[in-house]
Structure 1
Amino acid sequence: MNMRAQRAKAVNTLLTLLLLLMLLFGGLGAAHLFAKPQASLTPMLGLDLEGGQQLILEPAVEGGQVTSGQVDQAVNIIRQRVDGSGVAEAEVTTLGGRNISVAMPGTPDPAVIESLQASSRMTFREVLAVESGAPAPKNPKNLPGYEGSSSKDGKASGKESGKGSTGGSSAPATIAEGVWPAQSSPKATDSSKDSSASSSGKDSGKASDKAAPSASASQGSGDAASSPAPTGSDDAQQPAQGDGTPHGKDITIPAAVQKRFDSYDCGTDKTREEAQSAGDDDFVVACDPTGTEKFLLSPTRIEGSSIADASSGPETNQQGQPTGKIAVSLELDGKAADTFADLSAVMAAQPKDSPYNRFAMLLDGEVISAPGMNQVITNGQASITGDFTAEEGKALADQLKFGALPFSFKLQSSEQISPTLGDEQLRWGIWAGVIGLALVAVYSLFQYRALGLVTLASLALAALLAYLAVVLLGWQYNLRLTMAGITGLIVAIGVTADSFIVYFERVRDEVREGRPLRNAVDTGWARARRTILISDAVNLLAAVILYLLSEANVKAFAFMLGLTTIIDLVVVMLFTHPVVTLLAQTRFFGDGHRLSGMNPESLGARRTTYVGRGRVRSLPDTPPTTGTTTEAAL
């Protein structure tokens, strides 16, 4: 490769690095100014350096019967909820064999504290009727789509289904079941891989007038009060059998359930507890968290345990542009995905203003979302969208991903705790890093002369990237910097310096063999690159294994070690090598100045080197201005 091509390639690589830095700085600045929650410009600290809040949770069970196995299971689930990535530095332990102590750094969000107390059992059910959260003054006569009071064979049906029914002497209402197994809400923005799948709707987790907008969204049932409820009379009602009913089965709604729905008041204290106690075969009357809507729901169609994965993040529209809202993405397992596909096919065929077009997600006795269905979802990928904050979305995703607790908890006490180490230990830890960095700088300048300045610049860049990464990860994933993490950063100084030493020594070896520096840089890099990659791969593998098999502070150390190893690769590839390539084309370095660190005589370069085919390469007594050697035939 000629000098011009080498220079152009090196400059392009440095421009790529500059673009990366601009993106990181721009992202941090935007997150600090506009994001909710606002990003801090300094790293978040762990319990040992900042302190935090300690919560004592007591099981809320009748009769007080709690086994040690249940407590251990709850500890594992709570630990994953508050620190699923292992970098938030939360401490979860048992207390007295029954209670659970949860220590979290900083000031935890109230939504996180509430999520720790809930068992978080989710079920997916179809919506049979929707009304305002207050009881209706007079029950409407008919359900939407119902006609007459006869069953399929034209005779009155006295059949009741669902364990939650309390009975009734007159015939209950029925609606066509089809394959209405429950589901999770499909993505309103069609972010699933199946291009035919798209649904959205009104989020009932907040006030009903705050539906998430989307170009492909249907508005569910409109206003809560506009969807008539089932009749509270003793007359049985039955909907017309639609063409979208695949099996023609009926769900029987007992008259007592209808009466319960009509008189249900979301403002009472026991509404959520009653919905929580319902079984999978029960009809459920439940409200949204704000009490603006009440729902009559079918028996369970899909269990929350069928969720294979869950995560939260910014919602995007069909064009890939962010909407400014948070979406909780779900992925259902194989059987539930098939059930969901059948359900979405039936629901998408229903009128958009019908409650039958909506499906409900019941979490701990509350309908957190009840969107409408626009299209068939065939791949089991869906999302819950609404007016979540980032913290609320993450808390919900963690609840769904890590499973339900064996029982709910009540908060027994909450108190602030002081740092276990304090400012003095933090100050000494920082001093240890500064001293280590200074020793590396002295060695580099002594060993490599002016080339050692490249080492210092590379270390400074690595430190900057590590700082940006820690701050951004703290904002997005609650990464907390502990003393163990600081130790990992200090160890990384040696890892990064090792890569530079391998590269520089390989270039020096090429110079000793009689190659001019401009050629030695490329040849040395080609041979050093493999060694650097293997060395960093071993370090990264060790960090990953340590992270997976350890807990608490050791996990923090492993995470920082792995993070800085990746940063080392970025710095060496995008900064160190391009800079050395450009320096080799200057007279100071290219001609081997004695202070450049690449002087052939100082390195003991061979005066004459056999290069094959009867030819030798000789170093001139006085380095020429071109920086090249001469070759002659034997």
Structure 2
Amino acid sequence: MARIRPTSMARRTLLWLGIIFIALAMLLGGGSIWGQASWAPKLALDLEGGTQMILTPKVQGGQSINDDQLNQAVSIIRQRVDGTGVSEAEISTQSGRNVIVSLPGTPSAETRELIKASADMSFRPVITIGQGAATPADQMLPPDKLPVPTAAPTNASDQNWVDAALYKTFETTSCVPPVTEPPTNADPAKPVVSCDLASGAKYILGPVEVPGKDISDANYGLQQGAQGATTNQWSVNLKFNSDGATKFREVTSRLNGFLQANPQDPRAQFAIVLDGRVISAPVSQAVISDGNSSITGNFTEASAKSLADKLKFGALPISFDIQSEQQISATLGGQQLEMGLLAGIIGLLLVVVYSLFQYRALGFVTIFSLVVAGALTYLAIAILGWTQNYRLSLAGVAGLIVAIGQTADSFIVYFERIRDELRDGRGLVAAVENGWRRAKRTVLASKAVNLLAAVVLYFVAVGSVRGFAFTLGLTAIADLIVVFMFTHPTLQLLARTRFFGEGHRFSGLDPKRLGAVPLYRGAGRFREPMQVTLGVKGGAKPGSASAAKGKNSGAQAEAERRQTIAERRLAARQEQMAGSRGAGSADPSKGSQDAAKENKS
């Protein structure tokens, strides 16, 4: 099989990088034309401003709210909001009673509902179904006709739960406008009257048989038909824990018995109640024994996702009303952003100046690599803002600024490896390939540490710190892509140009300025080991006059300057040994005879 030339591989890699950029740009452009995308990243609360809502608990006479309930509510609301993406929301308590939620931008109606709804789900059996309108006074049952229980109820579907007071509530409840508000904090061990606002039906429901806390997971998707085909109806899929699965199997067994005895019996239905409202009351047509269930109704994709998120993160211990809502500005954040961007520009300019001073023309590779990394990161942030509701905060901007130095560090490691290879006497093409093999291990190890730190910080932190960790990890990934797909292929191509390949003095890769000594010196002379370390010119032996003269050259000084402490000590020992050998044996033949005698003895 023919081996692919490095130049062909380099061009192919750069072509793939261009394809990635074009694909990302087309994706974002298409989203901005046909969707809700924007070329500008979404900004978080501290940079854009947003909406602050004060939530007040719904309580009935004498009910008290404690700190544990408020802290639990804050935790659940934060999980619900974070479940929609990294939105940099700020959630806290106020005065030991209210909850303050600050969101960037203007929240949608679904978001408001997601925040304030208790999401207290329960499963109650249906006992009676009626029309949604309240019964006119002249049509209500007289007192002597109201139902009277004949025995103690034996199960949650027993009609003996219905007494005169409950039936009177059933008659006066309206499930069509004006709708009667559902009771708050209803006793799960007692029957209730509830409405299905979608259909306008009202129900008398038995006690709770499966509480919402028995739901272990929830997700949403298109409903599967009887033959396994996907329908166009959205559903919310539930998975119960072991206790919930056992209860659900027992309930569906009983309800299925009602269905077999009388298909019109309302007691064959099982109502799914969310925050006091019936969202679905399906007929139990089979015994469900695996703990998996599905809720169907008039769901859209958004409403199905909202309900799944509420159930997934649990119910609030109390329900809330939005007491007040006001817009908040981002004046302070804007000023801090200006200062942060100024600091970032100064840091970027310092990196550019250092790169050009230290690496001359090679520094332009660093500059262009930083530009490519910045463009890739920008596109990623804009696309994530569109698809995942990611918002860039001031802390996220700080992560991007910190990443400038970390990204430049990867290029410096690579360049120094190449220079080391040039000092060893290799040509630039070989130096690039050998230097890359050594440098990429260091770069990979460094970025792995950065990614690990970013991931740990993201999952253990809250609020704006997560934004910092997110951008730190994102830029580490972008850095790897740029180093592997732009910096290295570019140097592979530049190494074969005359300017860089012949070591122009302004290329930054001039072997003479780096103190390099070629392996073959011509006329049958090869580089000696001491010359690799000391950069001695001309193949003269250590300790000779020509070696001393070469030691004072600019290349020699550069080589000595770049030696490590260990290399200096090794060179000193070698010089000392060479000097002692020269002083102790002026006659080479005599020295050889002495060595032979010593070996013989």
Deviation at 1:519, TM superposition (A): 2.8
Other-structure match for 1:93:
92
The answer on whether the counterparts of 1:315 and 1:385 sit within 8 Å (CA) in structure 2 is: no
Match of 1:478 among 370, 389, 400: 389
Match of 2:320 among 409, 415, 435: 409
Deviation at 1:462, TM superposition (A): 1.7
Deviation at 1:512, TM superposition (A): 2.3
Match of 1:60 among 42, 58, 69: 58
Match of 1:286 among 190, 194, 203: 194
In structure 2, do the counterparts of structure 1 residues 415 and 281 end up closer, same or farther at CA, with 3 Å as the change threshold? same
The answer on whether the counterparts of 1:271 and 1:286 sit within 8 Å (CA) in structure 2 is: no
Matches of 1:518 and 1:322, distance apart in 2: 58
Other-structure match for 1:239:
none
In structure 2, do the counterparts of structure 1 residues 324 and 602 end up closer, same or farther at CA, with 3 Å as the change threshold? farther
Other-structure match for 1:168:
148
Matches of 2:527 and 2:150, distance apart in 1: 109
Deviation at 1:307, TM superposition (A): 3.2
- Which stretches in structure 1 are left out of the alignment for 5+ residues? 138-165, 175-248, 622-634
The answer on whether the counterparts of 1:267 and 1:291 sit within 8 Å (CA) in structure 2 is: no
Letter in 1 for 2:516: A
Letter in 2 for 1:267: V
Letter in 1 for 2:215: I
Matches of 1:373 and 1:25, distance apart in 2: 50
Deviates more, 1:109-118 or 1:583-592: 583-592
Match of 1:437 among 342, 348, 356: 348
Match of 1:457 among 357, 364, 368: 368
1:33 is the counterpart of 2:13 = no
Matches of 1:359 and 1:136, distance apart in 2: 24
Other-structure match for 1:216:
none
Q: Percent identity?
A: 48
Matches of 1:504 and 1:108, distance apart in 2: 49
> What SS is found at the alignment partner of 2:278?
strand
Matches of 1:133 and 1:529, distance apart in 2: 71
1:306 is the counterpart of 2:214 = yes
The answer on whether the counterparts of 2:271 and 2:278 sit within 8 Å (CA) in structure 1 is: yes
In structure 2, do the counterparts of structure 1 residues 13 and 82 end up closer, same or farther at CA, with 3 Å as the change threshold? same
> What SS is found at the alignment partner of 1:602?
coil
In structure 2, do the counterparts of structure 1 residues 168 and 416 end up closer, same or farther at CA, with 3 Å as the change threshold? same
> What SS is found at the alignment partner of 2:340?
helix
Other-structure match for 1:488:
399
In structure 2, do the counterparts of structure 1 residues 17 and 302 end up closer, same or farther at CA, with 3 Å as the change threshold? farther
> What SS is found at the alignment partner of 2:93?
strand
Matches of 1:456 and 1:316, distance apart in 2: 53
1:44 is the counterpart of 2:42 = yes
Matches of 1:117 and 1:605, distance apart in 2: 71
The answer on whether the counterparts of 2:85 and 2:389 sit within 8 Å (CA) in structure 1 is: no
Deviation at 1:266, TM superposition (A): 1.4
Deviation at 1:348, TM superposition (A): 10
1:107 is the counterpart of 2:106 = yes
Matches of 1:250 and 1:469, distance apart in 2: 54
Question: 1:122-201, aligned counterparts within 5 Å?
Answer: 122-125=121-124, 133-134=132-133, 168-169=148-149
Deviation at 1:22, TM superposition (A): 3.7
Other-structure match for 1:273:
182
Superposed CA deviations along residues 484-539 of structure 1, whole A, max 9, x for unmatched, are 22111111111111111112222222232233333333322222122112211222
Matches of 2:171 and 2:58, distance apart in 1: 30
Letter in 2 for 1:56: I
Deviation at 1:295, TM superposition (A): 5.6
Letter in 1 for 2:362: L
In structure 2, do the counterparts of structure 1 residues 604 and 406 end up closer, same or farther at CA, with 3 Å as the change threshold? same
- Which stretches in structure 2 are left out of the alignment for 5+ residues? 137-145, 538-601
Matches of 1:472 and 1:373, distance apart in 2: 44
The answer on whether the counterparts of 1:171 and 1:255 sit within 8 Å (CA) in structure 2 is: no
The answer on whether the counterparts of 2:70 and 2:97 sit within 8 Å (CA) in structure 1 is: yes
Other-structure match for 1:184:
none
Deviation at 1:562, TM superposition (A): 2.0
Matches of 1:299 and 1:330, distance apart in 2: 21
Other-structure match for 1:425:
336
Superposed CA deviations along residues 448-492 of structure 1, whole A, max 9, x for unmatched, are 333333322221222122222222332333322222221111111
The answer on whether the counterparts of 1:514 and 1:605 sit within 8 Å (CA) in structure 2 is: yes
TM-score, reference length from structure 1: 0.67
1:82 is the counterpart of 2:62 = no
In structure 2, do the counterparts of structure 1 residues 298 and 2 end up closer, same or farther at CA, with 3 Å as the change threshold? farther
Matches of 1:570 and 1:357, distance apart in 2: 60
Matches of 2:223 and 2:365, distance apart in 1: 42
In structure 2, do the counterparts of structure 1 residues 503 and 65 end up closer, same or farther at CA, with 3 Å as the change threshold? same
The answer on whether the counterparts of 2:426 and 2:518 sit within 8 Å (CA) in structure 1 is: no
Superposed CA deviations along residues 128-158 of structure 1, whole A, max 9, x for unmatched, are 7877645799xxxxxxxxxxxxxxxxxxxxx
The answer on whether the counterparts of 1:261 and 1:285 sit within 8 Å (CA) in structure 2 is: yes
> What SS is found at the alignment partner of 2:38?
coil
The answer on whether the counterparts of 1:125 and 1:301 sit within 8 Å (CA) in structure 2 is: yes
> What SS is found at the alignment partner of 1:600?
coil
Matches of 2:454 and 2:243, distance apart in 1: 37
Q: Highest CA radius of gyration, 1 or 2? A: 2
In structure 2, do the counterparts of structure 1 residues 377 and 268 end up closer, same or farther at CA, with 3 Å as the change threshold? same
Superposed CA deviations along residues 566-617 of structure 1, whole A, max 9, x for unmatched, are 222222233322333343344544444444433333333221179xxx9989
In structure 2, do the counterparts of structure 1 residues 396 and 9 end up closer, same or farther at CA, with 3 Å as the change threshold? farther
In structure 2, do the counterparts of structure 1 residues 422 and 255 end up closer, same or farther at CA, with 3 Å as the change threshold? closer
Letter in 2 for 1:53: T
Other-structure match for 2:434:
523
1:256 is the counterpart of 2:165 = no
Question: 1:486-565, aligned counterparts within 5 Å?
Answer: 486-565=397-476
> What SS is found at the alignment partner of 2:517?
coil
In structure 2, do the counterparts of structure 1 residues 126 and 525 end up closer, same or farther at CA, with 3 Å as the change threshold? farther
Q: How many residues align?
A: 510
> What SS is found at the alignment partner of 2:450?
helix
The answer on whether the counterparts of 2:74 and 2:91 sit within 8 Å (CA) in structure 1 is: yes
Matches of 2:55 and 2:126, distance apart in 1: 34
Other-structure match for 2:17:
17
1:396 is the counterpart of 2:327 = no
In structure 2, do the counterparts of structure 1 residues 304 and 599 end up closer, same or farther at CA, with 3 Å as the change threshold? farther
Other-structure match for 2:139:
none
The answer on whether the counterparts of 1:87 and 1:480 sit within 8 Å (CA) in structure 2 is: yes
> What SS is found at the alignment partner of 2:513?
helix
Deviation at 1:408, TM superposition (A): 1.2
Letter in 1 for 2:214: S
Letter in 1 for 2:175: C
Matches of 2:277 and 2:405, distance apart in 1: 53
If asked which structure has higher relative contact order (CA below 8 Å, sep 6+), I would say 1
Other-structure match for 2:564:
none
Letter in 2 for 1:478: N
Matches of 1:120 and 1:575, distance apart in 2: 50
In structure 2, do the counterparts of structure 1 residues 608 and 107 end up closer, same or farther at CA, with 3 Å as the change threshold? same
In structure 2, do the counterparts of structure 1 residues 428 and 387 end up closer, same or farther at CA, with 3 Å as the change threshold? farther
Matches of 1:299 and 1:584, distance apart in 2: 80
In structure 2, do the counterparts of structure 1 residues 322 and 53 end up closer, same or farther at CA, with 3 Å as the change threshold? farther
Matches of 1:491 and 1:322, distance apart in 2: 48
The answer on whether the counterparts of 2:186 and 2:192 sit within 8 Å (CA) in structure 1 is: yes
The answer on whether the counterparts of 2:125 and 2:267 sit within 8 Å (CA) in structure 1 is: yes
The answer on whether the counterparts of 2:156 and 2:209 sit within 8 Å (CA) in structure 1 is: no
Letter in 2 for 1:88: S
Deviation at 1:2, TM superposition (A): 8.1
Deviation at 1:304, TM superposition (A): 2.2
* Structure with greater helix share of residues: 2
Q: Give the aligned CA root-mean-square deviation in angstroms.
A: 4.5
> What SS is found at the alignment partner of 2:176?
coil
